[in-house]
Amino acid sequence: GAGVSQSPSNKVTEKGKDVELRCDPISGHTALYWYRQSLGQGLEFLIYFQGNSAPDKSGLPSDRFSAERTGGSVSTLTIQRTQQEDSAVYLCASSLRVTEQYQPQHFGDGTRLSIL
């Protein structure tokens, strides 16, 4: 498709379960970002990928959070042993990465995660 695609759009799970969130970026975009949006914290950066490597993981809130990207395309964000404070909308964004000029990030619709 033309835009950033995220799945599932909604996920409800019990506390303690693991969840996987998927992001399919815009074709040709080498940079991929995960953000989290919650009422209390607003929009927060989680992790950045350039190609398959993640040079900036500084926003991951705990070691329960991990992410990978394969083939320079699809990325998966995994949350292990979910806690109620993990409830939020997880947003994925992608952008072209041109060294001379910064490109804007384009966002997907997000995955709304609810931890019971």
Partner 1 sequence: AQKVTQAQTEISVVEKEDVTLDCVYETRDTTYYLFWYKQPPSGELVFLIRRNSFDEQNEISGRYSWNFQKSTSSFNFTITASQVVDSAVYFCALSEPGAGSYQLTFGKGTKLSVIP
Contact residues: partner 1, CB under 8 A: 31, 33, 35, 42-43, 45, 48, 55-56, 58-59, 89, 91, 93, 95, 102, 104-110
Closest CB to partner 1 among 19 and 31?
31
Closest CB to partner 1 among 83 and 114?
114
CB of 6 to partner 1, least distance (A): 10
Paired residues of 17 in beta bridges: none
**Other Cβ atoms closer than 10 A to 64:** 14
Please tell me the distance from the alpha carbon of residue 65 to that of residue 58, in angstroms, as a whole number: 11
Closest CB to partner 1 among 67 and 93?
93
Closest CB to partner 1 among 14 and 27?
27
CB of 14 to partner 1, least distance (A): 24
Got the DSSP string for 28-81? T--EEEEEEEETTTEEEEEEEEETTEEEE-TT--STTEEEEE-TTS-EEEEE-S
CB of 58 to partner 1, least distance (A): 8
Helix extents (H) in 57-101: none
CB of 5 to partner 1, least distance (A): 11
